């Protein structure tokens, strides 16, 4: 029998959905339908926030957790920070927990979500059992893998809100121990793929179990895989929310222990390594910077302020420095071609460090808008920063060059950031004709922005 708290949460959820549907009705006919949501983990311009939008302000919680069935019912705008807080007391987590606390479950399912469990647990949408979606036509439907709306269920991942918005998701949960023991293994570029293949094949490396794996390439000659295993005890635990910085420990420690909570959020405190751009890794600044503001969403807001006002860009011009191009991308490269891509990236882009995260589809079926092949191992290569715009070049040239290279290496690019593809190439790479067929059913009046318009032309 559901608990009183579960019943109250269900009632509150129903009221929140009612509020959402009322806000849909208030959007004038013919006007685009979008979320009235000011925060975002996207790195591309968003729609005009002065227009009326869907009220999702009350769809931010966990409805229930079933520790026996290892499932949770979660509202679409619930952040992973809040979701983990509800599941961790039961020794459970989502199958995949993206690195940044304020990524929402609905956002990860309809967009990007990859982490160190992805080599065995796949992508967030693969652990979804069913989901309620408010479609572009204003209809609320429950989509499952084999039900009446199976086409919507299959097409929803990587649709980025072009088919609708998830209001409730029922997801599988995974066991996690109180601690995670880490090994940082230094490898050459040509040693990365064999090591990853060994881990994927047997869940072990050099005879020891591996439950989590990601890595960092610091230079063309210095790369590491960080291998994590569940542990019921710890010799000691490190704290990387204070003066110590997690990514620097990878080069300096062969072994480490973190609590499960701190392991899941190890990258959030310094936004991987990007906090250095704001001075937050300088010892004096770090002592003065309050811990509660040392987190990814705060850094993201600083970047948003700079994008709007261009203060740093104007200062650099006064100093005679070249303008800089933003290069913020996550791409999936087949593991067999990882070394070649990293060498290409070093020669033509040169940003370091870069993040490495192995992943495989958990199941045996491909997803229409997520063009990864079942049974094949990929490595997510993440690089986030800026590069100087060379004389005679234009803003966007480096990103275009990367897009071409990713395709040449048989890879796939996430759409959470800037994209520069022409429409024909985009439609081919992201299976837009298949999306259009399903969109006819669930958004017949095109109230929701199309995928190309969202990702490339930014309408």
Q: What is the pLDDT of residues 225-257, one digit of tens each?
A: 999 999 999 989 999 999 999 999 999 999 999
* Residue 359 lies in domain: 310-420
How deeply is 138 buried, as exposed, middle or buried, from its count of CB atoms within 10 A (0-12, 13-18, 19+)?
A: middle
Residue % of the chain over a pLDDT of 70: 95
- Per-residue confidence (pLDDT) for residue 339, from 0 to 100: 97
- Tokens encoding 231: 């542990």
CATH number at residue 42: 3.30.465.10
340 pLDDT more than 50: yes
The answer to whether 256 touches 249, Cβ cutoff 8 Å, is yes
The answer to whether 424 touches 339, Cβ cutoff 8 Å, is no
Same domain, 452 and 349: no
Q: With respect to residue 225, please indicate whether it lies within any of the assigned structural domains.
A: no
Q: With respect to residue 68, please indicate whether it lies within any of the assigned structural domains.
A: yes
Cα–Cα distance for residue pair 269/275, rounded to 1 Å: 8
Q: With respect to residue 337, please indicate whether it lies within any of the assigned structural domains.
A: yes
Same domain, 451 and 357: no
- Tokens encoding 109: 């399912």
| The total number of structural domains that make up the chain | 2
- Per-residue confidence (pLDDT) for residue 40, from 0 to 100: 60
- Per-residue confidence (pLDDT) for residue 308, from 0 to 100: 78
Same domain, 400 and 446: no
Q: With respect to residue 185, please indicate whether it lies within any of the assigned structural domains.
A: no
Per-residue pLDDT reduced to its tens digit, 86-106: 999 999 999 999 999 999 999
The answer to whether 192 touches 200, Cβ cutoff 8 Å, is no
Q: With respect to residue 228, please indicate whether it lies within any of the assigned structural domains.
A: no
Same domain, 134 and 57: yes
Q: What is the mean pLDDT of residues 358-369?
A: 94
pTM of the model: 0.93
Same domain, 314 and 447: no
pLDDT-based confidence at 46, cuts 50/70/90?
low
Q: With respect to residue 402, please indicate whether it lies within any of the assigned structural domains.
A: yes
405 pLDDT more than 60: yes
Same domain, 157 and 30: yes
Same domain, 11 and 140: yes
CATH number at residue 381: 3.30.70.2520
Q: With respect to residue 289, please indicate whether it lies within any of the assigned structural domains.
A: no
- Per-residue confidence (pLDDT) for residue 1, from 0 to 100: 47
Q: With respect to residue 414, please indicate whether it lies within any of the assigned structural domains.
A: yes
- Per-residue confidence (pLDDT) for residue 309, from 0 to 100: 74
Cα–Cα distance for residue pair 332/347, rounded to 1 Å: 19
Neighbours of 442 (CB within 10 A): 23
68 pLDDT more than 60: yes
More confident residue, 4 or 457: 457
């Amino acid at each position: 029998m559901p608990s009183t708290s579960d019943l109250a949460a269900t009632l509150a959820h129903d009221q929140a959905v009612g509020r959402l549907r009322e806000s849909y009705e208030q959007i004038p006919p013919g006007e685009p339908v979008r979320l009235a949501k000011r925060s975002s983990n996207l790195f591309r311009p968003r729609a005009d926030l002065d227009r009326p939008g869907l009220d999702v302000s009350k769809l931010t919680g966990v409805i229930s957790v079933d520790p026996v069935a290892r499932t949770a019912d979660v509202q679409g705008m619930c952040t992973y920070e809040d979701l983990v807080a509800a599941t961790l007391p039961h020794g459970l987590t989502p199958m995949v927990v993206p690195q940044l606390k304020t990524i929402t479950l609905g956002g990860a399912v309809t967009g990007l979500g990859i982490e160190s469990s992805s080599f065995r647990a796949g992508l967030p949408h693969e652990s979804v059992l069913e989901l309620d979606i408010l479609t572009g036509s204003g209809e609320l439907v429950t989509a499952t893998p084999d039900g009446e709306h199976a086409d919507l269920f299959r097409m929803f991942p990587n649709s980025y809100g072009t088919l609708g918005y998830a209001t409730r998701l029922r997801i599988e949960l995974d066991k996690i121990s109180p601690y995670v023991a880490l090994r940082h293994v230094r490898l050459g570029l040509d040693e990365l793929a064999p090591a990853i293949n060994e881990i994927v094949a047997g869940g072990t490396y050099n005879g020891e179990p591996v439950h989590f794996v990601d890595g960092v390439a610091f230079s063309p000659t210095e790369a590491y895989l960080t291998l994590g295993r569940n542990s019921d005890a710890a010799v000691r635990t490190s704290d990387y929310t204070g003066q110590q910085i997690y990514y620097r420990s990878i080069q300096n420690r062969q072994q480490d222990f973190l609590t499960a909570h701190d392991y899941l959020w190890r990258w959030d405190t310094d936004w991987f390594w990007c906090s250095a751009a704001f001075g937050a890794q300088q010892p004096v600044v770090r002592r003065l910077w309050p811990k509660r503001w040392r987190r990814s969403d705060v850094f993201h807001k600083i970047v948003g302020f700079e994008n709007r006002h261009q203060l740093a860009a104007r200062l650099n011009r006064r100093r005679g420095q070249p303008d800089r191009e933003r290069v913020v991308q996550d791409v999936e490269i087949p593991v067999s071609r990882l070394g070649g891509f990293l060498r290409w990236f070093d020669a033509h882009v040169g940003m370091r460090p870069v993040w490495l995260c192995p992943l495989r589809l958990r199941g045996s079926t491909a997803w229409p808008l997520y063009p990864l092949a079942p049974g094949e191992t990929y490595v997510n290569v993440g690089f986030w920063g800026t590069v100087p715009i060379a004389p005679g070049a234009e803003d966007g040239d480096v990103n275009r060059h990367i897009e071409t290279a990713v395709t040449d290496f048989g890879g796939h690019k996430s759409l959470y950031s800037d994209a520069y593809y022409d429409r024909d190439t985009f439609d081919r790479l992201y299976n837009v004709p298949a999306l259009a067929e399903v969109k006819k059913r669930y958004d017949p009046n095109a109230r929701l922005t199309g995928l190309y318009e969202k990702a490339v032309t930014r309408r």
